[in-house]
A and B are shown apart, each in its own frame.
Chain A
Amino acid sequence: MCSCFFHVDLDAFFASVEQEDQPQYKGRPVIVGADPQKRGVVSACSYEARKFGIHSAMPISEAFRRCPQGVFLPVRMERYHEISEKIMAALKNYTPHFIQISVDEASLDLSGMEKLFGPPREVAWRIKEEIRELTGLTLSVGIAPNRYLAKLASEYEKPNGLTQILPGQEESFVNRLELRELWGVGPKTLDRLKELNIRNVVELRAYPQAALKAMIGEAMADFLHRVIRGQSPAIHENPPKSHSVSAELTFEQDCKNREVIKKTLLSLSQQLMTRLMNEEGKSRTLVLKVRTFDFSTSSVRKTYPYYISSSETMYKNALDLLDQKWDSTTPLRLIGLGFAQVEKEEKSFQGELFEEARDKAKRLEEAVFDIKKKWNGVSLTKASLLSRKAQDKNEREKK
């Protein structure tokens, strides 16, 4: 039986949802992200906007400079999740071996399903048709003998693409790609390869593996060795052992107001704790990242003797880390916080004899989490995080 993996990737997802919801923007360059008059980055943009050289993660001001006539829209994450859920539910009908990779990407294992669904290409067309009818959105499908190649294939003819790599064609497909198109190869690796005078996949394949290991590290060299031969680097095949959960915020204006920074950390702590609990993870390691006004970026990492089990504890520790990294006078451009070395929380739980303040905070956190889960949409937060406006509104309502 041949392995047959599908990688499904929605085209310019956020921007397409906006264009679908507001048809007057169809055919126009739509840029979803921060307010162009303020600071922040592009979260997503339509293919029309990409013609102007705009891409996601670009500073929003730069996007505005390149395309002042563009339609700049704020991020409506809840709406995207809503659409995404519909799509993922539809995709799940095709196979039980389904992995959602992100809000707009999924990997499907359809090995041995040919008798049930027909040839893979036909299945791909059916999927595309079904999603288009359901949401009006287009997507690109890659079909390949492993998940990694399927991902590369889905990128190959975007948007609205369909690329199939048949068994035996793996190497010749990879030969056609540029090194930067290999998913997982970042700018640093590209620089090193350039220094080694390796310009394409064929040259990389000819390079002695031992020398490559010495130059770019064992893990990366092994990864490349596999992917340029069309083999699976085992991505998404096993759930990762540990990963990180992090978030960051770029201030609208460089900030050196300690109170504002503290409040930001508190808000990040709350977000991250909820995310960690959502994925049933636990972690003892915190990472704090700061970027100062001159773009110099540094981070500090600390592992604690206990699991960080409440936003309260996370926030307190984050403040300690902040003191280590920040002199209280240099204006900050960005601040980020995250859990590293996230492990899976076991279902069984051994009770503690000596309950500490931390354990109580954990139980409070769990209670808040349960409320949020039960009453979908209810927001429960620290009073200090309520904006002035919301507080005023609250008071008016009380009156």
Chain B
Amino acid sequence: MEFTIEKEIFYKGLSKIQGIVEKKNTIPILSNVLIETNLDGIYLTATDLEVGIKAFYPANIKKNGKITISAKKLYEITKELPDKNITFKVKENSWIEIKCDKSIFNIVGLAADEFPYFPEPENDQFINIKSSLIKEMIDKTYFSISTDETKYNLNGIFFKSEDTDKGEKLLSLIATDGHRLSMIKKNIQDNQIKELDKGVIFPKKGIYELRKIAEDGESDLKIGFMDNNAVIKKENIFIIMRLVDGEFPDYKRVVPMNNNLIITINRNSLFHSLKRISILSNEKSKGIKINLKENSMEISSSNSDYGEAHEEVDIDYNGPELTIGYNARYIIDVLQTQESEKIQINIKDHLSPGLIKCFDDDDYLAVIMPMRL
């Protein structure tokens, strides 16, 4: 096997797979990238058996073949090479020679037949989604994904499509860690896909990869399903990820419907107040206290090791006086992913979940459970 490829193309391709290759090194070949040739280019494939990526890049093929090689080392080498063509040549016993300008590297690879089988996407049904749209939806929800590995059914984002009364199709993304929940819904192209109608959980690691390719280039993404996997295509890249096998909790039940106490507040000023006051909150719980009075919100924190802080923020509110504890992080996470100038917080009392919405955006909502301080 032998081919010549532009450094920049090879480097970009290799950087895309770094997040996927197995780092724990339990199965050595999973830390390798599979390189295969076809007529006018190469395929780079990496997988950790949960998430896999396969992408095509143009190259000048001299001799066909396939090989696997340490994804990390190849990436590090390519990164440092000058901006010239790279020649990649497989010699006897899986030895690989990489040449660029005056540099020569000889690295030992592993035979490609050891590499796990990577399913090819069939011509199944796909929906087209704008890359920028899916990126926005992920950005506004992913922070609520649970990091507790024992709650495996919360270790991802729930994708679900629904038909509206107007005959439109909505796609919702929902993430929760059991203490807070973020949900966003957007119109999508009307295509019946039974997996999405039922709802599926995309794994956290797959979400990061999906976000990465959504960010890279304007063209549309295609999402489809195969067995228990989600398949995502964009231009020359194809990602496959095993869906989380678990039931997503009944999220609709926890979205409060009759929180009658309404606070309207400038997003930016609340965001910065929370950032400041939370410096002196308990490092672990991040608890802050919110004291509501007519048209005024006092945010305070105290930390037995350092001291206390408080600050007043102007709001629109004409409910009763009330004190609620929250994890400041949860509110900050929501505020920093929003664009609108004003937000609305709907609450009921100091024990029930609070609802955060944007003033001019009905597509998004966040639910946050208070804290007992």
| From B150, B181, B371, contact of A351 by CB (8 A) | B371
A354 and B371 form a contact (CB under 8 A)? no
Mask of B164-203 contacts with A, CB within 8 angstroms, 1/0 = 0000000000001011110000000000000000000000
Q: Does B249 contact A (CB under 8 A)?
A: yes
Rounded to whole Å, the gap between the CB of B9 and the closest CB of chain A is: 45
A350 and B369 form a contact (CB under 8 A)? yes
A346 and B285 form a contact (CB under 8 A)? yes
With CB as the reference atom, state the residue of chain B lying closest to A346. Answer: B285
Asked whether A353 and B369 contact (CB < 8 A) given A305-B151, A346-B285, the answer is yes
- In chain B between 134 and 185, which residues have their CB closer than 8 angstroms to a CB of chain A? 148, 150-151, 176, 178-181
A353 and B178 form a contact (CB under 8 A)? yes
| From B150, B254, B327, B373, contact of A353 by CB (8 A) | B254
B371 and A348 form a contact (CB under 8 A)? yes
B254 and A346 form a contact (CB under 8 A)? no
Q: Does B224 contact A (CB under 8 A)?
A: no
Q: Does A352 contact B (CB under 8 A)?
A: yes
Residues of B within 8 A of A353 (CB): 176, 178-181, 254, 353, 367, 369
A339 to B180, CA, bound (A): 30
B287 and A351 form a contact (CB under 8 A)? no
Q: Does B351 contact A (CB under 8 A)?
A: yes
Rounded to whole Å, the gap between the CB of B299 and the closest CB of chain A is: 16
Residues of A within 8 A of B181 (CB): 353
A305 to B178, CA, bound (A): 14
- Sort A-B residue pairs by CB-CB distance and give the 4 closest, nearest first: A305-B150, A351-B369, A349-B372, A348-B285
- 17 A-B contact pairs sorted by A residue (CB < 8 Å): A305-B150, A306-B150, A346-B284, A346-B285, A348-B287, A348-B325, A348-B371, A348-B373, A350-B285, A350-B369, A351-B179, A351-B351, A351-B353, A351-B372, A353-B178, A353-B180, A353-B254
Since A306-B150, A348-B285, A350-B369 are in contact, a sample of 9 more A-B pairs with Cβ atoms closer than 8 Å, ordered by chain A residue number, is: A346-B284, A347-B373, A348-B282, A348-B287, A350-B285, A351-B351, A352-B179, A353-B178, A354-B178
Q: Does B13 contact A (CB under 8 A)?
A: no
With CB as the reference atom, state the residue of chain B lying closest to A347. Answer: B373
Number of CB contacts from chain A to chain B under 8 A: 45
Residues of A within 8 A of B370 (CB): 351
With CB as the reference atom, state the residue of chain B lying closest to A284. Answer: B150
Mask of B333-373 contacts with A, CB within 8 angstroms, 1/0 = 00000000000000000010100000000000001011111
Residues of B within 8 A of A305 (CB): 148, 150-151
Residues of B within 8 A of A351 (CB): 179, 351, 353, 369-372
A55 to B344, CA, bound (A): 70
Residues of A within 8 A of B249 (CB): 354
Rounded to whole Å, the gap between the CB of B251 and the closest CB of chain A is: 9
Residues of A within 8 A of B285 (CB): 346, 348, 350
- In chain A between 274 and 317, which residues have their CB closer than 8 angstroms to a CB of chain B? 305-306
Residues of B within 8 A of A346 (CB): 284-285
With CB as the reference atom, state the residue of chain A lying closest to B282. Answer: A348
Rounded to whole Å, the gap between the CB of A42 and the closest CB of chain B is: 44
With CB as the reference atom, state the residue of chain A lying closest to B249. Answer: A354
A350 to B288, CA, bound (A): 12
Residues of B within 8 A of A306 (CB): 150
Q: Which of A306, A349, A350 lies at the interface centre, i.e. has the most chain B CB atoms within 10 A of its CB? A: A350
Rounded to whole Å, the gap between the CB of B333 and the closest CB of chain A is: 14
A348 and B372 form a contact (CB under 8 A)? yes
With CB as the reference atom, state the residue of chain A lying closest to B325. Answer: A348
With CB as the reference atom, state the residue of chain A lying closest to B253. Answer: A354
Chain A positions within 8 Å of B, measured between CB atoms, are 305-306, 346-354
Rounded to whole Å, the gap between the CB of B76 and the closest CB of chain A is: 38
Q: Which of A305, A306, A351, A352 lies at the interface centre, i.e. has the most chain B CB atoms within 10 A of its CB? A: A351
A353 to B353, CA, bound (A): 7
A348 to B250, CA, bound (A): 26
Mask of B281-322 contacts with A, CB within 8 angstroms, 1/0 = 010110100000000000000000000000000000000000
A319 to B212, CA, bound (A): 48
A350 and B327 form a contact (CB under 8 A)? yes
Rounded to whole Å, the gap between the CB of B179 and the closest CB of chain A is: 5
A350 to B353, CA, bound (A): 11
A371 to B12, CA, bound (A): 66
Residues of A within 8 A of B151 (CB): 305
A349 to B327, CA, bound (A): 10
Residues of A within 8 A of B372 (CB): 348-349, 351
Residues of A within 8 A of B178 (CB): 352-354
Residues of B within 8 A of A347 (CB): 373
Residues of B within 8 A of A349 (CB): 371-372
Residues of B within 8 A of A348 (CB): 282, 285, 287, 325, 371-373
With CB as the reference atom, state the residue of chain A lying closest to B285. Answer: A348
A315 to B327, CA, bound (A): 33
Asked whether A350 and B282 contact (CB < 8 A) given A305-B150, A305-B151, the answer is no
A274 to B284, CA, bound (A): 26
With CB as the reference atom, state the residue of chain A lying closest to B284. Answer: A346
Residues of A within 8 A of B176 (CB): 353-354
Rounded to whole Å, the gap between the CB of A355 and the closest CB of chain B is: 9
- In chain B between 36 and 77, which residues have their CB closer than 8 angstroms to a CB of chain A? none
A158 to B181, CA, bound (A): 63
A26 to B329, CA, bound (A): 65
With CB as the reference atom, state the residue of chain A lying closest to B254. Answer: A353
A353 to B256, CA, bound (A): 11
A346 to B353, CA, bound (A): 21
A348 to B148, CA, bound (A): 19
Residues of A within 8 A of B325 (CB): 348
Residues of B within 8 A of A350 (CB): 179, 285, 327, 369, 371
A305 to B325, CA, bound (A): 26
Residues of A within 8 A of B150 (CB): 305-306
Q: Which of A348, A352, A353 lies at the interface centre, i.e. has the most chain B CB atoms within 10 A of its CB? A: A353
A258 to B92, CA, bound (A): 68
Residues of A within 8 A of B254 (CB): 353-354
With CB as the reference atom, state the residue of chain A lying closest to B148. Answer: A305
A353 to B282, CA, bound (A): 22
Rounded to whole Å, the gap between the CB of A269 and the closest CB of chain B is: 22
Rounded to whole Å, the gap between the CB of B359 and the closest CB of chain A is: 24
Rounded to whole Å, the gap between the CB of B121 and the closest CB of chain A is: 35
